[in-house]
Structure 1
Amino acid sequence: MPPLSDLSQDALEGLRARLREDYAALKGRGLKLDMTRGKPSPEQLDLAEAMLALPGNRDTTAEDGTDARNYGNLQGLPETRALFAPVLGAPADQVVIANNSSLALMHDVLVYALLKGVPGGKGPWSKEEPIAFLCPVPGYDRHFTLCEGFGIRMIPVEMMGEGPDMDAVEAAVADPAVKGIWCVPQYSNPSGETYSAETVRRLAAMKTAAPDFRLLWDNAYVVHHLTDTRPALPNILDACTDAGNPDRAIVFASTSKVTIAGAGLAMLASSPGNVRWYLAQAGRRSIGPDKLNQLRHVRFLRDAAGIAAHMERHRALIGPKFEAVEAAFSARLDGHGVARWSRPLGGYFVTLDVAEGTAGQVVALAKEAGIALTPAGATHPYGRDPHDRTLRIAPTFPTLDDVRAAAEGVALCTLLAACEARLAG
């Protein structure tokens, strides 16, 4: 069919009638599908089931002689830090291994910065004028929740296909109240884009009015490929060091979508100064992490080749689900001029941009048909998408058949909402 903008009033009304018939049939199926969060499926979690038998009650000694059952080793076992150092792009002595949540690490870094300040700063952030963070949009709602919870003002910055709008970023950091920026640099949540070398260079080298400005570099999808294409994301720690800003970046990652989501490892890497700062604060909070779990991961994943092989097994399970979303959207939406969507090379999400002003209606229509989606606006600070158009689609958790049904239903709701909006306008 031609674009909706080319249809006459009679043709639009006829299309709406047919779409309403299709929608009634969709509701009649009694679906109960959940596409709200980017969770691993049970089959993905099963891939790491053998890890649960490790390390074994007779083999709990780490390479340096540490009894992993006991207290201590706040920074993490040497072999665990060595395993994940290449993932983080840092020497093992600049890596910290923590318990299962990288979000908890990000939370703690913000809390420590607010209460104590960071290296290179003048004191606690909370003692300064109300501070702000730059928030690339569409972006990760939990980053926004952290800022909102701590009263940190959020400044949206548009994503441009190779990272955030750097002209806007460089203009914003001329304000000393701007203390940082959230970054998901590879397979961004939810747009799927990877930062270009030029974006990384400018982030590392830009002049900031705040001497303690931080890049919170949430590289959550660093090993989560969906194709044979591997992005060439530059090493942000090296880039910052080369630019004379060695303390600027703090890198986060986790095994939440590698091994077992609720029982994985979180990790942090940064400059020696930042690592010392973090450990000094964290040492008041904990005597040490779960080192038995660190041994499990080392003995299960073994090395970089083991991580890559394990992630290929994940890809075999979730790749067809992303293909199903693409097929459904293309079949129903191509040519109508009412939607565009990402075709990610990795990560966990598809971004669907619907007709402006209709994202909330698409979510409501889908809910009524038994398909739960992340709320419209979740991809923007304060839950407010000024264009009411961007939706995050999370295809990993449901079964392949359910993904097909949900994607077809979302596409139908997208076209119906667009058609009704055009007739109402």
Structure 2
Amino acid sequence: MKLTHANTDVLNTLTSLRGEADKAYQELKDRHLALDLTRGKPSAEQLDLGLDLLSLPGVNYTGSDGVDTRNYGGGDGIMDIRALWAELLGVDPALLIAGDASSLNIMFDLVSWSHTFGNNDSERPWSEEETVKWICPVPGYDRHHTITETFGYEMLTVPMTNQGPDLDAVRELVKDPAVKGMWTVPVFSNPTGWSVSREVAEGLAAMETAAPDFRIVWDNAYAVHTLTDEFPEIIDVVTLAADKGHPNRFWAMSSTSKITFAGAGVAFFNSSKENLDWYRGIASARGIGPNKVNQLAHARYFGSAEGVRSVMRKHSGILAPKFSAVTAILKRRLGGLGIAEWTTPAGGYFISVDVVDGTASRVAELAKDAGIALTGAGATFPYKKDPYNRNLRLAPSMPPIEEVEVAMDGVATCILLAAIEAAEAAEAAGE
């Protein structure tokens, strides 16, 4: 949203609030706060939900198929956790690999190995291409962008809508054979909380691409991370793509990282048999199998797919009040002023806020000076460059709700003050 001299009513309203905003900001600074809304980490209360894992699997370390989980081997992971997770996602367990730690590690491997060796549909390694381009729906996940930036790929942005990536924009870009991939967080996306509709998923699966080795990373990190009593539809994109004639289109990920212990969970990779065979061929040279003891512990901790949902309902009970507090404060402090828009997600870990064009970095600066750490302006765009300097990502999961409320009231003050400064500048310039 852009403030111009023509927005007379908005400008007059904002300038009339200058004294009130200055006073509120000074009071905020006088509190000498040290609050953090930067990253979507689980709170200690959430992490405590998984404490039973620390005593599992106990002395019974043998999987249901007789595998001794203490020993080497089993590159695909144990069937106990694969079958459970496949039921949760509604996918074929034969097309699901269970690995270690974070799905981000698997995503990095997939890009790295395609860069080094080429994937199973590549004519040559991506490193030998004149240029490699990658589609990034925005606002999006900064760690995705970091991976493709690390390899020097040119990142192309498309708008992220409340139905998913702008399908027409994606279809146009994939006409270029240099476009090798796309990032997607399909359910409760980072940072908007929006989900990819079935119609858009079908379009992505069916579209023709100039590059035969084009891949969509379907990072389903928040597949079951509801903030309500309802769980979202989980689309089996691997089967969908096979039905549309592009069986190797998707690399699909999920994990337990924000369900049990971050960095000490289980990651999952779902794809076509051909893609998985290519992955196995390189992964077997990298290591001799995952942490199967940890996988068995997780399988016994959850017990079933419904057991996972039961755990997630407990997470929702902790998280939902924090998200409600954020949106309630934004509405109370900024509603009707025409200076901010925000998402109201039904799941995930983030809230996306768009402020007056050109002011997001100023909001972050004002917040920092008042003792409130925000994710840097531009973080949700490739190269950390938001062309409109307006998007901010809020992460209310980790602090106690009392701190979330204090921080958000402060953030609202900073958004208002930055908008007032922009209004005064617009008036002075006669824009």
TM-score per shorter chain, which class?
over 0.9
**Which residue in 1 is equivalent to 2:340?**
339
**Which residue in 1 is equivalent to 2:122?**
121
Deviations 1:308-337 (A, max 9, x none): 100000000011000100111011000000
1:30 aligns with 2:26: no
CA contact (8 A) 1:72 1:287 kept: yes
CA contact (8 A) 1:98 1:267 kept: yes
CA distance in 1, matches of 2:385, 2:196: 24
CA distance in 2, matches of 1:124, 1:417: 47
CA contact (8 A) 2:11 2:423 kept: no
Deviations 1:173-208 (A, max 9, x none): 000000011010011100111111111011000010
CA distance in 1, matches of 2:92, 2:284: 21
Partner of 1:179: helix, strand, or coil?
Answer: strand
CA distance in 1, matches of 2:234, 2:88: 12
CA distance in 1, matches of 2:201, 2:12: 51
How many Å apart are 1:231 and its aligned residue? 3.2
Higher alpha-carbon deviation: 227-236 or 265-274: 227-236
Deviations 1:122-179 (A, max 9, x none): 1211112211110000000000000000111100111121111111100000000000
**Which residue in 2 is equivalent to 1:209?**
210
**Which residue in 2 is equivalent to 1:297?**
298
CA distance in 2, matches of 1:174, 1:10: 48
**Which residue in 2 is equivalent to 1:237?**
238
**Which residue in 2 is equivalent to 1:168?**
169
Counterpart residue identity of residue 108, structure 1: D
Deviations 1:2-38 (A, max 9, x none): x994448776444111100000001111110010000
CA distance in 2, matches of 1:349, 1:277: 34
Superposition map of 1:274-423 within 5 A = 274-423=275-424
1:73 aligns with 2:74: yes
**TM-score, structure 2 normalization:** 0.96
List, as ranges, runs of 4+ consecutive aligned residues in structure 1 with deviation greater than 6 Å: none
**Which residue in 2 is equivalent to 1:180?**
181
Counterpart residue identity of residue 338, structure 2: G
CA distance in 1, matches of 2:56, 2:190: 32
Q: Of residues 26, 43, 46 in structure 2, which corresponds to 1:44?
A: 46
Deviations 1:289-317 (A, max 9, x none): 11110011001001011001000000000
**Which residue in 1 is equivalent to 2:64?**
63
CA contact (8 A) 1:195 1:233 kept: no
Structure 2 unaligned spans of 5+: 427-431
How many Å apart are 1:230 and its aligned residue? 3.5
CA distance in 1, matches of 2:116, 2:371: 45
CA distance in 2, matches of 1:142, 1:304: 28
Q: Residues 233 and 52 from structure 1, CA distance in 2 versus in 1: closer, same or farther, beyond 3 angstroms?
A: closer
CA distance in 1, matches of 2:204, 2:411: 36
Deviations 1:223-263 (A, max 9, x none): 00011344334321121011110111010011000011121
Partner of 1:403: helix, strand, or coil?
Answer: helix
Counterpart residue identity of residue 260, structure 2: T
CA contact (8 A) 1:158 1:164 kept: yes
Counterpart residue identity of residue 176, structure 2: D
Identity between Structure 1 and Structure 2 (%)? 48
CA distance in 1, matches of 2:355, 2:14: 17
Counterpart residue identity of residue 305, structure 1: E
CA distance in 2, matches of 1:82, 1:109: 23
Partner of 2:269: helix, strand, or coil?
Answer: strand
**TM-score, structure 1 normalization:** 0.97
**Which residue in 2 is equivalent to 1:134?**
135
Counterpart residue identity of residue 25, structure 2: Y
CA contact (8 A) 2:181 2:215 kept: yes
CA contact (8 A) 1:33 1:406 kept: yes
Q: Residues 9 and 187 from structure 1, CA distance in 2 versus in 1: closer, same or farther, beyond 3 angstroms?
A: closer
**Which residue in 1 is equivalent to 2:429?**
none
Q: Residues 72 and 7 from structure 1, CA distance in 2 versus in 1: closer, same or farther, beyond 3 angstroms?
A: same
1:249 aligns with 2:250: yes
1:272 aligns with 2:243: no
How many Å apart are 1:286 and its aligned residue? 0.6
Higher alpha-carbon deviation: 6-15 or 406-415: 6-15
**Which residue in 1 is equivalent to 2:196?**
195
1:91 aligns with 2:115: no
CA contact (8 A) 1:253 1:268 kept: yes
CA distance in 1, matches of 2:128, 2:88: 35
CA contact (8 A) 2:174 2:210 kept: yes
CA distance in 1, matches of 2:267, 2:234: 21
**Which residue in 2 is equivalent to 1:155?**
156
CA distance in 2, matches of 1:110, 1:87: 26
CA contact (8 A) 2:101 2:266 kept: yes
CA contact (8 A) 2:226 2:232 kept: no
Partner of 1:261: helix, strand, or coil?
Answer: coil
1:143 aligns with 2:144: yes
CA distance in 2, matches of 1:10, 1:353: 21
Counterpart residue identity of residue 128, structure 2: K
Counterpart residue identity of residue 291, structure 2: D
Partner of 1:180: helix, strand, or coil?
Answer: strand
CA contact (8 A) 2:218 2:252 kept: yes
CA contact (8 A) 1:80 1:97 kept: yes
**Which residue in 2 is equivalent to 1:227?**
228
How many Å apart are 1:88 and its aligned residue? 3.9
CA contact (8 A) 2:50 2:261 kept: yes
CA distance in 2, matches of 1:221, 1:418: 33
Partner of 1:283: helix, strand, or coil?
Answer: helix
